[in-house]
């Protein structure tokens, strides 16, 4: 059977899609690059914003228009609105998040043991960006109560995967040729806190560094209150990527309180100081919401000034999106759409400038780059794209495609697309 896999949203969704891909291949099926070629389509949906929900619905409709394949819909939007998902054209199965781990086995009518096989060689998913990084799901669900977030409702309570299971997945990815492992979860920093003998993400990362040969280990999004001084000692191992994504959501103390975020601008700034003391070139990125209910001009100005002060290497900006079922929809002081748009543009401009300043620091230096794709061939060879360990996008030209290889690159220039350089080793 020919299978097409599609995903909307976060790295956790991507890790789940990759797991589906491994299982379908282990059962003898073929992955294809479009819904038009497929006998079965699986769409992993997102609901973090209204736009993500809309995008999820659009992906399902696009798959239906492409041909006669049956469509299985899973993920956060499908979990929150199963009736709407089931009513879309071509949908034959809706699988909620609580049953997602058994999706492939159930669709194929096979026992789970079928998938306990020797690791398969790494292959990029057809039709998607040629990702070389293996996204490993180590945790799901969340016990935080941020007033704007629907993910806790869609994903349920926090739950961690045992260390041995994670080790097995990582070693399987490495045996299949992965050069970088990315740990993912809804609330990654809470890993181990639900165990009978509680553990910490520090323990997981330390074990993976000590007990696997991963060339690179990267941590995905971490809540800023989950880290302590001991955690930063992990960067003594150069294989741990110098990149932290620490969602803040607002640089204004009053807005953070209304969001029920368990941090303050002052605590967040101290955390960044700690990180930069351990690794001065650490890339630190964040998420920010503008137009949260009650956000006055003064509060937005405070948030914007804080973002400038923190000198992030990049960031994502979201206009507040009301989500039914969250406490924030009942808060007074809604912000007009036109004002949200203005604030979003101003915040994005600050991030663009700080990202550019951070990237320019590396002109004239050398970085190790993991190549992801070669998208065109010219007189100088293939135009390659890749990521450094500190999450800078680098381009070069090479005589052959170097997908899934790590090279030493001399950085010659920085522009709006990232860094450009020459392979030197």
| Structure tokens given for 352 | 């663009």
Q: Are residues 136 and 85 in the same domain?
A: no
Domain boundary among 184, 218, 252: 218
Q: How many domains is the chain built from?
A: 4
Encode 43-67: b = buried (16+ Cβ within 10 Å), e = exposed.
bbbbbbbeebbeebbebbeebbebe
CATH of the domain at 199: 3.30.750.210
Residue 107 to residue 40: CA distance in whole angstroms: 10
Q: Are residues 95 and 153 in the same domain?
A: no
Residue 425 to residue 423: CA distance in whole angstroms: 6
In this prediction, residues 97-109 reach a mean pLDDT of 92
pLDDT at 401: 86
pLDDT at 129: 45
DSSP string, 269-283: HHHHHHHHHH-TT-E
The answer to whether residue 237 sits within a structural domain is no
Name, in order, each residue with C-beta under 8 angstroms of 194's C-beta and a sequence gap of 6 or more: 158, 159, 160
Residue 392 to residue 87: CA distance in whole angstroms: 42
pLDDT at 229: 83
pLDDT at 26: 84
The answer to whether residue 390 sits within a structural domain is yes
Q: Is the dihedral of CA 185, 190, 196, 197 positive or negative?
A: positive
| Structure tokens given for 155 | 């994903």
Residue with tokens 């909620």: 96
CATH of the domain at 102: 3.40.50.12160
pLDDT band for position 125 (50/70/90)? low
pLDDT at 11: 84
The answer to whether residue 33 sits within a structural domain is yes
Q: Are residues 6 and 90 in the same domain?
A: yes
Q: Are residues 66 and 19 in the same domain?
A: yes
| Structure tokens given for 89 | 């054209």
Domain boundary among 218, 250, 282: 218
pLDDT digits (tens, 9 = 90+) for 40-68: 999 999 998 889 999 999 999 999 999 86
The answer to whether residue 230 sits within a structural domain is no
Residue 393: pLDDT above 60? yes
pLDDT digits (tens, 9 = 90+) for 302-353: 999 999 999 999 999 999 999 989 999 999 999 999 999 999 999 999 999 9
Question: Which of 26-30, 132-136, 269-273, 378-382 has maximum average pLDDT?
Answer: 269-273
Q: Can you give the residue range of the structural domain that contains 28? A: 2-115
In this prediction, residues 229-239 reach a mean pLDDT of 94
Task: Please report which helix (H) or strand (E) contains residue 310, including its range.
Answer: helix 297-310
In this prediction, residues 100-126 reach a mean pLDDT of 73
Q: Are residues 10 and 91 in the same domain?
A: yes
Domain boundary among 218, 233, 254: 218
pLDDT at 145: 93
Residue 316 backbone class (left: φ over 0; alpha: ψ -120 to 50; beta: rest)? beta
Q: Are residues 83 and 192 in the same domain?
A: no
The answer to whether residue 378 sits within a structural domain is yes
């Amino acid at each position: 059977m020919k299978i097409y896999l599609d995903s909307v949203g976060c790295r956790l969704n991507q890790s789940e899609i990759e797991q589906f891909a491994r299982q379908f291949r282990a059962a003898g099926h073929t992955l294809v690059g479009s819904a038009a070629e497929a006998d079965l389509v699986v769409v992993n949906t997102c609901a973090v914003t209204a736009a993500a929900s809309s995008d999820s619905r659009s992906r399902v409709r696009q798959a239906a228009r492409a041909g006669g394949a049956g469509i299985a819909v899973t993920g956060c939007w499908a979990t929150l609105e199963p009736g709407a998902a089931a009513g879309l054209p071509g949908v034959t199965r809706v699988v909620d998040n609580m049953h997602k781990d058994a999706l492939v086995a159930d669709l194929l009518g096979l026992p789970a043991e079928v998938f306990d096989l020797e690791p398969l060689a790494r292959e990029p998913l057809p039709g998607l960006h040629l990702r070389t990084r293996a996204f490993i799901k180590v945790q799901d669900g969340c016990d935080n109560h941020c007033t704007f977030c629907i993910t806790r409702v869609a994903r349920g309570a926090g739950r961690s995967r045992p260390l041995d299971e994670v080790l097995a997945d990582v070693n399987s990815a490495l045996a299949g040729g992965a050069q970088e492992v990315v740990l993912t979860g809804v609330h990654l920093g809470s890993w181990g806190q639900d165990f009978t003998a509680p553990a910490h993400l520090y323990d997981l990362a330390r074990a993976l560094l000590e007990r696997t040969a991963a060339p690179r280990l990267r941590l995905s999004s971490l809540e800023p209150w989950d880290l302590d001084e001991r955690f930063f000692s992990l960067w003594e191992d150069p294989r741990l990527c110098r990149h932290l994504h620490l969602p803040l959501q607002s640089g204004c103390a009053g807005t953070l309180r209304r969001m029920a975020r368990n941090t303050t601008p002052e605590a967040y700034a101290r955390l960044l100081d700690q990180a930069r003391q351990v690794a001065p070139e650490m890339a630190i990125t964040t998420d920010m919401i503008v137009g949260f209910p009650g956000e006055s001009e003064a509060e937005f100005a405070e948030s914007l000034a804080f973002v400038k002060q923190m000198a992030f290497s990049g960031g994502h900006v979201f206009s507040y999106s009301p989500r039914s079922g969250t406490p924030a929809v009942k808060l007074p002081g809604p912000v007009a759409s036109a004002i949200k748009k203005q604030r979003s543009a101003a915040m994005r401009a600050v991030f663009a400038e700080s990202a550019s300043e951070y990237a320019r620091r590396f002109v004239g230096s050398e970085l190790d780059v993991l190549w992801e794709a070669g998208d065109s061939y010219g007189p100088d060879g293939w135009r390659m794209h890749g990521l450094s360990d500190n999450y800078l996008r680098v381009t070069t030209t090479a005589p052959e495609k170097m997908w899934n290889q790590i090279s030493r690159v001399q950085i010659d220039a920085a522009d709006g697309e990232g860094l450009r350089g020459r392979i030197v080793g």
